Structure 1
Amino acid sequence: MKKKYAICGVSGRALGMFAKPILTTYARRCELVAMLDCDPARFDLYRSRFPEHTAVGTYGEEEFGKMIDETKPDVVIVAGRDDTHARYIVAALERDLDVITEKPMVTTGEDARRVLDAERVSKGTVTVTFNYRYAPIHTKIKEMVWEGKLGRITSVDLNWYLDTYHGSSYFKRWNRRREMSGGLSIHKSTHHFDLVNWWIGQKPVEAFAYGDLHYYGAEGELNPGKEDGRHCGTCLSASRCAYHSRWNASHVPDDHLGLLESGGPRFPYTGYRPDRCIFDEEIDIEDTYAATVKYSGGALLSYSVNFSLPYEGYRLAINGTKGRLETIEYHAPSRTPFPTPIQTIDYFPLFGSKETIHVVHREGGHGGGDPLLLNDLFLGENRERPFPILSGAVDGAYSVATGEAVWRSVKERRPVAIAEVLGGWRESELIER
């Protein structure tokens, strides 16, 4: 019998990452029975992309209960705007349904606590789609730590870079408002915090951070003129905007939603355009962070992220009592203005010679991780792995709480405890289910 899925939030991610695989690759075992969204135009976009699958039921944002009663899904997929996640996750758990949610699981520690409490008494479970875990290079790093090649982990250095194309996209869209995204230390950095938590097998305890808005917003140094309400597609100052000029040449179309590739209209949604000016006054989040996180096993993380750099990628070092590993990745080589090497891992035993490890690279989004994640989601997790890889509600909560602790530390100029963000919740509160 096919497992039935309902999608809450018909985003570009929902259509590409979930609806399409359910309707194609996994159609023999999966069925899409319903979609819910606040904007009927999103259903039209779905129908234009999948005209042979137009019988799927559609529901408004207040019709969750009706959707469940009429279509009886086994799993609810939550993939809408970040601040809507908690509402539908908790509602699904209250009906004992399983949930698959996009990252971040929620946008606040308070909502993370709500999800944890709801899951504790539900027959349903939450899976958070942290696809970066599945990139072969990241899985290899986890394997090396798990095998003990580094010994007990003592410190991690992670510096993440987003280029002027990708980084600026968050400031054109709804992500630029903290009330909708939690800020980028949650919306984006939860990916990074989850990777570190998973790699080292320790829980975050406390964070201290600095951060600021350096590139975007009304005071951005490259703002061609202080004026609110502009859109890239109609801006009279576009020719004087370095960001627009760099990425709007005919060979590099600005298409973060994948609309040009799909042949659809450029802005198919009601009342929403993803090309708002990156220099608007309303932007209330940071674009640069430097943070330190303390972990339950004694490890320390030194983390930084910058959302406006000449190239994209990251630099990672993990140190332990038996050795160190280093790796550098350059994302989006087609946008990088210099040749980029294939990513490898350099392993330095504490007493011995360096070893360079080459990892088989895979096709697919997020470093080849997306196809592997989808297999686990829709076919069942590969039990032959020596360590768990699918993320649950606790993983989602720790990553969100770390992100909130970071931006609260920036604002309040003090260390912020993870337990404080989660309302005093601790993993010991979990009961056997």
Structure 2
Amino acid sequence: MTLDRERRRCAVVGLGARAQLYTEALSGPHADLIELVGFCDVNTHRMAVHNEWITAAHPGRAPVPAYSAADFDLMLRRERVDLVVVCSVDSTHDEYIVRALEAGCDVVTEKPMTTDADRARRILDAQRRTGREVRVAFNYRYNPVHSAVRELLASGEIGEIGSVHFEWLLDLRHGADYFRRWHRDKADSGGLMVHKSTHHFDLVNWWLGTHPETVYAQGGLFFYGDTAGRRRGLARPYTRAHGSPAARDDPFAVHLADSSVLRALYLDAEHEDGYHRDQNVFGPGVTIEDDMAVLVRYASGATLTYHLTAYAPWEGYRVCFNGSEGRLELLVEESTWSRPRMRTDGASPVMHGASVGDEAGRTELLLRRFWEPPREVKVPTGEGGHGGGDVRMLADLFGQRTGAADPLGRAADAVDGARSLVTGLAANRSFESGLPVGVRELLDV
């Protein structure tokens, strides 16, 4: 990214909860290099909420100019935007990315880069045609533990990699949330294989320095949704939690009025777009899977066995690398159990969603070389979101560029975004066909 002025002029499109990471960074620690000059969203109330937060945190600062989604191109011209941060609904990413590139802007996009192969080709074509930069916000690359894994594998500690086993567990707090929100519709999110697993598939691509060639997968809706809910006796007769007596004691319900952030961004914004952030996870309309198994072969010859479960009692992941000279094992417990949290609302106790348990999680990285005792590799745990990955990624995206190359290659471009996406797209295709899918059938990256 080139510095055309003393400070680059940046706009954010999509002002939901995820955008808070960027609006806080751009109005705070990175404001000396980046000037936040525009907001764009389908909902004017949400933009006003972000402006309230910014002006409260930085007294005397003028509100950021706000534009409707229909005026996105006008915003780019009027505010002389250099950089666009895209945090909108996943299926709309390509529209904003391509229009920003064609207007001469660079782009930072939330993951996934987009939701299908046609949209990915649009982005790749526009990036090549314009010569502008697209960065995909893969914050897990910047997690210190993941960086240590990359260094160990690249140094040859376990030799050539033959296979990887990767299991990711979403607990009843986090996993259920995808089935309340717009993510529950595969047309909007691409399903968890795209929206969530793109993180994990990108890590494997990056760790191994390769890309996928063939994918076979099985998956289904086992726990959430109306059919599974009725079968297990978990279904409650409500469409959305707000205002519903049937949701008051449901541990799977989220009560927007109990959270100042959720109330401001969603409950108080409903009058503009009708979006309900608190839908019943066991209600109709869920078109994504919650239990998925994937087998991948890579160009390097390595294989991956991957499993994502969205209804686990604890949250975290295990990843193991089998090499020609040993094995590397990583265990990360992000929460050790989930419990429904009680609070008092008037005279009545109200269940308002699952919460992380009191016990702290742990991280363990073990190197097991052949003919040697196992050795634990100590890695400092990062502070902040995604194990410290968020703050490091933001510094790389918006901080002072020194010109020095990153030996770990953590910056992810549009090709990286497409290569992480295509594994999930091929898995979705395999769910439908029951057959292995060649990646190049979908996207040649």
- Structure 2: how far apart are the matches of 1:137 and 1:150? 17
User: Which deviates more from structure 2 when the two are superposed, residues 53-62 or residues 409-418?
Assistant: 53-62
- Structure 1: how far apart are the matches of 2:258 and 2:127? 34
Q: How much does 1:188 deviate?
A: 0.4
Which runs of 5 or more residues in structure 2 are unaligned?
Answer: 1-5, 339-355
Q: What is the 5 A alignment of 1:305-320?
A: 305-320=308-323
Give the counterpart letter for 2:384 in structure 1.
G
Q: What is the 5 A alignment of 1:26-425?
A: 26-51=30-55, 52-220=60-228, 221-225=231-235, 227=237, 230-238=239-247, 241-244=250-253, 259-260=259-260, 264=264, 267-269=267-269, 270=272, 271-332=274-335, 335=338, 337=357, 339=359, 342-380=362-400, 383=404, 385-422=406-443, 425=444
User: Which deviates more from structure 2 when the two are superposed, residues 56-65 or residues 190-199?
Assistant: 56-65
User: Which deviates more from structure 2 when the two are superposed, residues 51-60 or residues 93-102?
Assistant: 51-60
Q: Judge conservation of contact 1:260–1:266 (CA < 8 Å) in 2.
A: no
- Structure 1: how far apart are the matches of 2:359 and 2:236? 37
Q: How much does 1:120 deviate?
A: 1.0
Could you say if the C-alpha distance between residues 224 and 349 of structure 1 is closer, same or farther in structure 2, counting changes exceeding 3 Å? closer
Q: Which residue of 1 aligns with 2:11?
A: 6
Q: How much does 1:258 deviate?
A: 10
Could you say if the C-alpha distance between residues 224 and 146 of structure 1 is closer, same or farther in structure 2, counting changes exceeding 3 Å? closer
- Structure 1: how far apart are the matches of 2:41 and 2:248? 36
User: Which deviates more from structure 2 when the two are superposed, residues 21-30 or residues 45-54?
Assistant: 45-54
1:356-377 Cα distance to aligned partner (Å, 9 max, x none): 1110112110111101001101
1:57-82 Cα distance to aligned partner (Å, 9 max, x none): 21111212211110111111101111
Structure 1 consecutive aligned stretches of length 4 or more whose deviation exceeds 6 Å: none
- Structure 2: how far apart are the matches of 1:276 and 1:63? 30
Task: Give % identity.
Answer: 35
- Structure 2: how far apart are the matches of 1:259 and 1:48? 16
Give the counterpart letter for 1:98 in structure 2.
D
Q: Judge conservation of contact 2:82–2:104 (CA < 8 Å) in 1.
A: no
User: Which deviates more from structure 2 when the two are superposed, residues 381-390 or residues 123-132?
Assistant: 381-390
Aligned length: 413
Normalized against structure 2, the TM-score is what?
0.88
Q: Judge conservation of contact 2:334–2:361 (CA < 8 Å) in 1.
A: no
Give the counterpart letter for 2:14 in structure 1.
G
Q: Which residue of 2 aligns with 1:431?
A: none
Q: How much does 1:324 deviate?
A: 0.7
1:217-265 Cα distance to aligned partner (Å, 9 max, x none): 11124454475x6112333333564534xxx7xxxxx67x995258847
1:272-321 Cα distance to aligned partner (Å, 9 max, x none): 22111111211111011001011000010000000001110011101111
- Structure 2: how far apart are the matches of 1:60 and 1:242? 36
User: Which deviates more from structure 2 when the two are superposed, residues 69-78 or residues 48-57?
Assistant: 48-57
Normalized against structure 1, the TM-score is what?
0.90
- Structure 2: how far apart are the matches of 1:59 and 1:259? 26
Give the counterpart letter for 1:46 in structure 2.
H
